[in-house]
């Protein structure tokens, strides 16, 4: 079998484009020198566009979870009541972080594969006026759900003065995001998803309303103290040594996004989602989410009459195709296909064609090509972006 060949179709880390790889190899520079200041200054407008904000996007060495914790430990104080909307593993992670900080955590859970219902959140907030912050997941990576953050923000504002803090890790840069217009107070993402970079960088933007909370917050923090990042970024620098190679790559990945056009990037992800969904439907496989709740970045497929883990093993062993499994209680129940970042509709056709063979190998009755054909039709109808 061809070696050094891998088709990475998981919801992050995602493949890195060649030009981003080359950019990452720029020689090291002094992080306090003018070159780094110039780079940080140049990065600002592009990141603001992707986030849909006029606020600065802060860049911090750490995983996406570090970004989530930053959003918690800067805003709410021990004993504060918060609402965490749980639509899967990453909503639950937000709740666990809040608990680690001794917050009084209210969870509203929605079933796996279902999006949150903004009206239910509004109702809860109306009867719980002491809630200081609402934590929500934009794309719930574990189930492939894209939550209706814009509607959620509207409903929250009608009922409460709580901050809206959003985990956008597995979708910002791939789906429409208007932080300022919608009224998101803190938006977090990571480098290894739609930004097409290796992991190791978290990106965080903060509304003026949230800053006033942050400046009065009493939680112990130093490396995660957003005030330091804000003050440094004002002078185009960082409080601590930034992950320079990722910043070099980020400039190129934002350039690629701008060259394609944000609108086209979003449309490409939407088409990939529709292709994958049409394909699995044509192959008689059940999807975990309905069309309305489905994320453009990751699709979860139910494994009802076959073993999800066995399918993943065959895909890896026979085709070097890497699929994701289910997490926690969904382990063995689903497999997941990532279609995010450096990934095209053509990649979907390849992925589907390989999964068809893998399903056949599993002993499942499959009409070879049926999934591919359904996906091709979608792509042709939607326009060849």
Contact set with a second copy (CB under 8 A):
4, 6, 8, 10, 12-16, 21, 24-25, 27-31, 33, 61-66, 69, 73, 78, 96-97, 100-102, 190, 192, 198-201, 219-223, 225, 239-246, 316, 322, 324
Is the CB of 33 or the CB of 212 nearer to a second copy?
33
Q: How far is the CB of 35 from a second copy (least distance, A)?
A: 9
Nearer to a second copy, 33 or 54 (CB): 33
Query: Closer to a second copy at the Cβ: 20 or 372?
Result: 20
- What phi, psi does 366 have (nearest 5°)? -135, 135
Report in angstroms how near the CB of residue 62 gets to a second copy at its nearest: 5
In whole angstroms, the minimum distance from the beta carbon of 137 to a second copy comes to: 16
Do the bridges between strand 201-206 and strand 186-190 make them parallel or antiparallel, or are there none, so unpaired? antiparallel
For helices 208-216 and 226-234, angle between their N-to-C axes, nearest 10 degrees: 120
**Which CB, 172 or 278, lies closer to a second copy?**
172
User: How many of the other CB atoms lie within 10 Å of CB of 379?
Assistant: 21
Residue 112 vs 219, nearer CB to a second copy? 219
Burial track 135-163 (b if 16+ CB lie within 10 A, e otherwise): bbbbbbbbbbbbbbbbbbbebbeebbebb
C-beta of 131: minimal distance to a second copy in Å? 20
Closest CB 30 distance from a second copy, rounded Å = 5
**Alpha-carbon span 192 to 356, nearest angstrom:** 28
Instruction: Tell me how far, at minimum, the Cβ of 47 lies from a second copy, in Å.
Output: 18
The DSSP 8-state label assigned to residue 83 in this structure reads: E
| Nearest distance in Å: CB 218, a second copy | 10
The pair of three-digit structure tokens given for residue 186, joined into one six-digit string: 């803190």
Is the Cβ of residue 61 or residue 145 nearer to a second copy in the bound state? 61
Cβ closest to a second copy, residue 171 vs residue 282: 171
CA-to-CA distance for 25 and 31, rounded, in angstroms? 15
For the record, the structure tokens of 92 come out as 């639950």
3-class secondary-structure state, position 203 = strand
**Distance between CA atoms of 63 and 224, rounded to whole angstroms?**
12
Dihedral over Cα of 308, 189, 44, 247: its sign: negative
Cβ within 8 Å of residue 279, ≥6 positions away: 348, 352, 371, 372, 374, 375
Nearer to a second copy, 109 or 227 (CB): 227
Min dist. Cβ of residue 102 to a second copy (A) = 6
Closer residue to a second copy, CB minimum distance, 169 or 366: 169
- Nearest CA to 240 out of 66, 16, 53, 22 is that of 66
Residue 25: CB minimum distance to a second copy, A: 5
Our CB check for a second copy shows the closer of 215 and 223 to be 223
Q: How far is the CB of 242 from a second copy (least distance, A)?
A: 7
Q: Dihedral sign for Cα 19, 257, 9, 169, please.
A: positive
For the purposes of burial, counting CB atoms within 10 Å of the CB of 177, is it exposed (0-12), middle (13-18) or buried (19 or more)? buried
Q: 228 preceded by cis ω (within 30°)?
A: no
Q: CA 357 from chain center: how many Å? A: 29
Alpha-helical regions (H) of 283-343: 308-319
């Amino acid at each position: 079998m061809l070696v050094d060949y891998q088709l990475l179709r998981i919801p992050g880390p995602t493949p890195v484009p060649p030009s981003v790889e080359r950019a990452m190899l720029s020689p090291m520079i002094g992080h306090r020198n003018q070159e780094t200041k110039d780079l940080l200054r140049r990065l600002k407008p592009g990141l603001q566009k992707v986030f849909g904000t006029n606020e600065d996007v802060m860049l911090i060495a750490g995983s996406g979870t570090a970004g989530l914790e930053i959003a918690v430990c800067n805003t709410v104080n021990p004993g504060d009541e918060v609402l965490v909307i749980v639509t899967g593993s990453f909503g639950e992670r937000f709740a666990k972080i809040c608990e680690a900080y001794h917050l009084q955590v209210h969870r509203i859970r929605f079933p796996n594969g279902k999006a949150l219902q903004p009206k239910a959140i509004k109702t809860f907030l109306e009867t719980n006026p002491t809630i200081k912050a609402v934590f929500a997941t934009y794309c719930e990576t574990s189930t492939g759900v894209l939550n209706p953050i814009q509607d959620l923000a509207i409903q929250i504002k009608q009922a409460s003065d709580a901050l809206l803090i959003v985990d956008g890790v597995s979708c910002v840069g791939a789906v429409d995001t208007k932080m300022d217009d919608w009224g998101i107070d803190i938006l977090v993402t990571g480098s290894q998803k739609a930004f097409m970079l290796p992991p190791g960088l978290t990106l965080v933007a903060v509304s003026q309303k949230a800053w006033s909370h942050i400046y009065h917050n009493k939680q112990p923090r130093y490396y995660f103290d957003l005030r330091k990042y804000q003050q440094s970024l004002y002078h185009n620098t960082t409080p601590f040594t930034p992950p320079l190679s990722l910043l070099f790559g980020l400039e190129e990945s934002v350039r690629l996004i701008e060259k394609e056009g944000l609108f086209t990037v979003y449309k490409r992800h939407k088409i990939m989602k529709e292709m994958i969904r049409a394909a699995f439907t044509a192959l008689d496989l059940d999807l975990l989410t309905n069309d309305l709740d489905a994320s453009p970045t990751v699709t979860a497929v139910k494994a009802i009459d076959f073993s999800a883990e066995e399918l993943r093993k065959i895909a890896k062993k026979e085709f070097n195709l890497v699929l994701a499994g289910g997490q926690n209680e969904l382990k063995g129940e689903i497999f997941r296909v990532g279609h995010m970042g450096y990934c095209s509709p053509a990649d979907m056709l390849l992925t589907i064609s390989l999964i068809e063979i893998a399903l056949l190998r599993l002993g499942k009755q499959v009409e070879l090509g049926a999934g591919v054909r359904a996906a091709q039709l979608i792509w042709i109808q939607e326009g060849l972006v």
